[in-house]
Amino acid sequence: MEEQEQEKGIGLDGSDVTAVLTELARFLFEHKWLFHFSNVTILMVEIPDCWRRCLAKKKTSGVREAILKAAGRVSQKCPADEDDRLLDEFLLRRNELAAKARSLLACTRLLQDDDRQTKIPTRMTPKKLHEVSMLARVLSRLCDQHCTSHLVDVGCGLGHLERVFSRSCDKIVAVECDEATCGRFLGLSSSVEVVQGRLGDEAEDRRLAKEIFARIGEGKPIGLVGLHCCGDLTPAMMRLFSSTPEFSFMAVVACCYHKVQKDRNKPVSSRVQSEILNSDCKNLIYGPSALRLACQESLDKWLKLTDQELEVREKDFGHRAAFEAFCHDRRLVKRKRKRRQRGSSDFVAKIMDTYEVGEGQLDQDQIKSDFTEYCRQTESEFPLLSAVAALQLCLQSLLEYFITLDRCLFLIDNGLRVELREIFDVGLSPRNIALIASRFQHR
């Protein structure tokens, strides 16, 4: 009984979610200088003097050491000066907020100890195999809890979940917008049907729902599923689920937050819009730069890079930022080449092979020579730029938590039970949080 109670849980509490969101918003807005811009424009961005002085002294290696110290992975030392205290206080508060957000995630012990065997097709990459197998375990348990053998897979892609559940489910409806992809499912199984369309438009959502129910039948409990749903797709699934009682549960793993349409890059929860974020903070956290940062690699993965890998990144990032500033200063138009030339170990040559500068009438060799000189003049800034980029990664998880908790609050306010679970190994799949909603009553 205790194990069953732990497995079902009681769902997230709206007041707890609101409290964490409020603290996250305050901290992120206080440090907006770190992420209110596109990374490649960093040489044109004003960095606060205190942080410029601190990061210029620390460089990337010093920032990494401070991160490890704040996490307790290396021995603690007393801060030597004001610069150390500035960085240490930032990291301490960042870690406190990350811990508060993580405390809202459900226990994953039962999932990890689940010994049930699910047949998984092996013709997948290790990453995809891991994602499909772990999500399949979650879905199997949810189907058992909700007494259903009917699934709707939104954005089904290559149909990995359809192949997994085609034998155990009475019916699985694959929803896919790409016509060519839909053709892959012909003859897969009598239990698999395909509906072509894209969620997001209210009228189209109603059409799709009507067609889905026609395939499955009326009055049957249904699970709504999505694996790495890009951009607007996750909010669209949430709206469909909350407004359609035929769906018993929803399990979705989101990704590519920055691919949301411009007119929809805003909080989904009315409480977040009206009570937590003012207009400036709303435009900041749901701006393109913040949304892109939210789906970057994790801080833990970055901490595992070797010194040599970090040095290559520093030079690569520095030259790319210098190229952006170089073109901006000279009002040069740049565009990516359709066919890139052979790769080069020289950073300037690599960039010039990737981009064509000007309208085709300029001497590319002269531009390359001028750009080389520009890099020579700005390369002393490269360690600072790399240190700023490292500090940005400390905010990646906070931004992702904010977006995810905003979505949770929308579902909670619609009377649904919500939980979050980290279901993938973050080293294999950085977007690893499953948002699970159901029509179980709150206890």
Residue 26: inside a domain: yes
Residue 359 vs residue 363, higher pLDDT: 363
| Whether residue 217 is found in the same domain as residue 285 | no
pLDDT for res 390: 95
pLDDT for res 343: 53
| Whether residue 222 is found in the same domain as residue 346 | no
Compute, in degrees rounded to 10, the torsion defined by CA atoms 89, 306, 381, 54.
20
pLDDT for res 4: 41
**Domain total for the chain?**
2
Does position 360 have pLDDT exceeding 70, yes or no?
Answer: no
Does position 345 have pLDDT exceeding 70, yes or no?
Answer: no
The β-bridge relationship of strands 355-357 and 334-336 is antiparallel
Region 83-94: mean pLDDT is 93
Does position 2 have pLDDT exceeding 60, yes or no?
Answer: no
Residue 112: inside a domain: no
| Whether residue 356 is found in the same domain as residue 368 | yes
| Whether residue 301 is found in the same domain as residue 381 | yes
Q: How far, in Å, CA of 115 to CA of 330, rounded? A: 62
Region 204-225: mean pLDDT is 90
Residue 111: inside a domain: no
| Whether residue 2 is found in the same domain as residue 98 | yes
Residue for token pair 């290790």: 126
- Across all residues in the chain, what is the average pLDDT? 87
Residue 213: inside a domain: yes
Check if the beta carbon of residue 175 is closer than 8 Å to that of residue 151.
no
Give 219's pLDDT tier (boundaries 50, 70, 90): confident
Give 312's pLDDT tier (boundaries 50, 70, 90): very high
| Whether residue 242 is found in the same domain as residue 146 | yes
| Whether residue 166 is found in the same domain as residue 98 | no
Does position 322 have pLDDT exceeding 90, yes or no?
Answer: yes
| Whether residue 148 is found in the same domain as residue 207 | yes
Distances (CA, A) of 236 to 249, 252, 348: 15, 11, 43
pLDDT for res 338: 74
**Which CATH number belongs to the domain containing residue 211 in this structure?**
3.40.50.150
Residue 420's domain spans which residues? 120-267+400-438
Q: How far, in Å, CA of 192 to CA of 151, rounded? A: 10
Region 234-239: mean pLDDT is 95
| Whether residue 390 is found in the same domain as residue 276 | yes
| Whether residue 234 is found in the same domain as residue 273 | no
pLDDT for res 263: 78
Give 107's pLDDT tier (boundaries 50, 70, 90): low
pLDDT for res 239: 94
Does position 268 have pLDDT exceeding 80, yes or no?
Answer: yes
Give 42's pLDDT tier (boundaries 50, 70, 90): very high
What interhelical angle do 307-329 and 382-413 show, nearest 10?
Answer: 90
Distances (CA, A) of 86 to 26, 156, 161, 355, 393: 17, 47, 48, 39, 17
Tens digits of residue pLDDT in 381-418: 999 999 999 999 999 999 999 999 999 999 999 999 99
Q: How far, in Å, CA of 346 to CA of 274, rounded? A: 51
| Whether residue 85 is found in the same domain as residue 146 | no
Q: Comparing C-alpha atoms, which of 186, 138, 130 is closest to residue 165? A: 138
Can you say how many angstroms the Cα of residue 401 is from the centroid of all Cα atoms in its chain? 9
Indicate the range of 65-69, 114-118, 155-159, 345-349 predicted with least confidence: 114-118
Residue 208 vs residue 186, higher pLDDT: 208
Residue 108: inside a domain: no
Residue 362: inside a domain: yes
Q: CA-based diameter of the chain, in Å?
A: 76
Region 224-228: mean pLDDT is 95
pLDDT for res 72: 79
Region 338-363: mean pLDDT is 75
Residue 152: inside a domain: yes
pLDDT for res 238: 96
Compute, in degrees rounded to 10, the torsion defined by CA atoms 368, 369, 370, 371.
50
Residue 115: inside a domain: no
Give 5's pLDDT tier (boundaries 50, 70, 90): very low
pLDDT for res 158: 80
Give 40's pLDDT tier (boundaries 50, 70, 90): very high
Does position 442 have pLDDT exceeding 90, yes or no?
Answer: no
Region 167-173: mean pLDDT is 88
Which of 399, 414, 429 delimits the end of a domain? 399
Q: Three-state SS for 318?
A: helix
What interhelical angle do 49-70 and 307-329 show, nearest 10?
Answer: 160
| Whether residue 388 is found in the same domain as residue 405 | no
Region 280-291: mean pLDDT is 91
Indicate the range of 21-35, 165-179, 241-255, 281-295 predicted with least confidence: 165-179
